[in-house]
Amino acid sequence: MKFADTLKTLPEFAGEKLVLTDASGAEVATIANAPGTAGSFRVYAYLARKYGAIDAEAAAEGLAIFAEHTEDASLHPGKHPNIDRLIAILTTGAPLNPRVI
């Protein structure tokens, strides 16, 4: 299934942005609920609701949801920072704590 098709199956989430913090509480990323990043916002908000933290299990599901974009991110590091972040979580095992604002 393609990303656009899978995205339609995820619930809608209200909020301006999603903030990700590391174990020390430092902010490492913000994903706006705006054109260009609304899909990533929705995926991360879904993962946050389902798993609590964005850990390796959540990251693996997120990469599956991003579908064809995951392969593109692997081939072009830096092109898809929100997918790169999930790949890094799988590599390092260091979870991130999400908070929707």
Q: How do residues 10-22 score in pLDDT, each as one tens digit?
A: 999 999 999 999 9
* C-alpha to C-alpha distance for 90 and 98, rounded to whole angstroms: 16
Domain ranges of the chain: 3-100
pLDDT band at residue 80 under the 50/70/90 scheme: very high
Does the structure show a pLDDT above 90 at 53?
A: yes
Q: Using CB atoms within 10 A of its CB, is residue 87 exposed (0-12), middle (13-18) or buried (19+)? A: middle
Asked if residues 11 and 46 have their Cβ atoms less than 8 Å apart, the reply is: yes
Contact call for residues 51 and 43 (beta carbons, < 8 A): no
